[in-house]
Amino acid sequence: VFPGVRQAQWLTKTKLVEGLPPAVQGIMDNPALELQELEERAKHMVSHARLWDTAEAAPRRERYCPVLFENLIHICRLMSGKYPSLSKRMLARNCRVAAMWERESILLQVRGLSGILMNSMSPIPPVSSKEEILATKEHVLETFYPIAPTIDLQEVNVYKELNDTGFRDGYPYSYPHTLFFLESANVRTDRFRPEQLRAKMLMFAFGNALAKAKALHGNDPKVLEQPVVVQSIGTDGQLFQFMVFQLNTTDLVSNDGVKNLVWVDSDQNLYERAQCVPEVKKGVVTKPAGISGFQPDTFKKFLALYLHGTV
């Protein structure tokens, strides 16, 4: 069982804020960016992924989910004409990350494949002020007594403490920007449920941020002068999860002091339904083929997270 978000919050010493941070919201609401001009194109890309990409009557999720992701990234890249620094990004697939930390008296680690990672030449600036970071000292982390917060984590013997961003020193795109998780398994039981997916997104955003912070500032636990921000987007090809994580401290042993922060925008549909073949009853088309209920705001959130840190 993969833990839920509440458990991930305890493990990463993180306070959760519902919704996206003002910095990202500001990008969505900025008329100068002319994001609505890309809406039609995004709708077209959804149709391409769901209806036209294959000769099958209805493409399977393991096909349309990655195609939709590539299509959306393609639209995002079109903005680099306007914002040249967007071209200083790199998508890396099958990235591995390793990060270790101590929580109370437990040694924890995040290790493994962290989805598709977009790296940048420069970091995303902190999304909350020094005052907001200091205010997290007051936040009380939820405990699960009498259940251990590590109840369903896998125990392993660790012979070497490893903190590794997955990239060698001197790699020009050295800052983790956004992680993308595609839950594209056809069979529902093989996919993470949204709550599990959000927990995974939080653990890996934290893991990437912690590995980067240790690479920059060493292993001594401390409150960071310059917090590390890593974003996550998860989708099954229709429903999207958005997350912005800010690592404020690597001092994770106790429940006291400054906490980390995560902003979460859950369960956002990009469209309501994709009808590959028209539904006909008694010779009358009751549901025409096509995409219905396209949600431009969900697309704008995807785009705003992509632009975040540059625009």
> What does the mean pLDDT of the chain come to?
88
Please tell me the predicted confidence (pLDDT) of residue 95.
76
Q: What pTM was computed for the model? A: 0.90
* Element at 133 (helix H, strand E): helix 130-135
Residue 156 has pLDDT above 60, yes or no: no
Dihedral pair phi/psi, residue 281, rounded to 5°: -125, 125
Q: Give the CA distances from residue 199 to residues 9, 164, 193, 241, in Å, rounded to whole numbers and listed in that order.
A: 8, 21, 10, 11
Q: What average pLDDT score do residues 70-78 get? A: 95
Please tell me the predicted confidence (pLDDT) of residue 153.
52
φ/ψ region of 232 (left if φ > 0, alpha if ψ in -120 to 50, else beta) reads beta
Please tell me the predicted confidence (pLDDT) of residue 285.
85
Provide the token pair at 42. 């995004």
Q: pLDDT: is 155 or 170 the higher one? A: 170
Q: pLDDT: is 79 or 105 the higher one? A: 79
Please tell me the predicted confidence (pLDDT) of residue 2.
44
Distance CA(300)–CA(170), nearest Å, equals: 33
Q: What average pLDDT score do residues 167-176 get? A: 77
CB 241, CB 266: distance < 8 Å: yes
Please tell me the predicted confidence (pLDDT) of residue 288.
85
Dihedral pair phi/psi, residue 267, rounded to 5°: 50, 60
Please tell me the predicted confidence (pLDDT) of residue 83.
92
Q: What average pLDDT score do residues 99-104 get? A: 85
CB 141, CB 10: distance < 8 Å: yes
Please tell me the predicted confidence (pLDDT) of residue 1.
38
Distance CA(198)–CA(195), nearest Å, equals: 5
Tokens 């420069």 belong to which residue? 122
Q: Give the CA distances from residue 232 to residues 115, 143, 165, 179, 263, in Å, rounded to whole numbers and listed in that order.
A: 10, 25, 16, 5, 10
pLDDT tens profile 196-239? 899 999 999 999 999 999 989 988 889 999 999 999 999 999 99
146 band by pLDDT with thresholds 50, 70 and 90: low
Rg (CA), the chain: 20
Please tell me the predicted confidence (pLDDT) of residue 159.
47
Distance CA(114)–CA(204), nearest Å, equals: 6
- Which of 125-129, 192-196, 290-294 is predicted most confidently? 125-129
Dihedral pair phi/psi, residue 177, rounded to 5°: -110, -65
Nearest residue to 258 via CA among 222, 214, 207? 222
Residue 191 has pLDDT above 90, yes or no: no
Please tell me the predicted confidence (pLDDT) of residue 122.
93
Q: pLDDT: is 138 or 33 the higher one? A: 138
* Cβ count within 10 A of residue 166: 18
114 band by pLDDT with thresholds 50, 70 and 90: low
Q: Give the CA distances from residue 222 to residues 101, 156, 229, 251, 258, in Å, rounded to whole numbers and listed in that order.
A: 12, 26, 16, 5, 10
